[in-house]
Amino acid sequence: MVDLLNILKYRLIWLNLLLCFISGVLSFFVFEISALFFVLLSNIFDILGYHFSLIRRSKELPEKIIIRSYRIIQFLFDLLLLLLIGIQFDWFAALAGWIMKEFGLQDVFYYLFLKEKLPVKWNWMKWTPLGFIKGDLTKNEIVIQAVVGVIISVILLIVR
Distance from C-alpha of 14 to C-alpha of 157, rounded to nearest angstrom: 28
pTM: 0.80
Q: Convert 62-82 into a string of H (helix), E (strand) and C (coil).
A: CHHHHHHHHHHHHHHHHHHHH
Which pLDDT does position 59 carry in this prediction?
59
Element (H, E) at 85: helix 63-88
Could you say which residues of the chain have pLDDT below 70? 1-4, 51-63, 65-66, 69
Which amino acid is present at 59?
K
What number of CA atoms fall less than 13 Å from residue 59's CA on the CB side? 0
Q: Contact at 8 Å (CB) between 122 and 59?
A: no
- Taken in order 90, 95, 96, 100, the sign of the CA dihedral is positive
Per-residue model confidence as pLDDT tens digits over 46-87: 887 776 666 655 555 566 766 776 777 888 899 999 999 999
Which pLDDT does position 53 carry in this prediction?
66
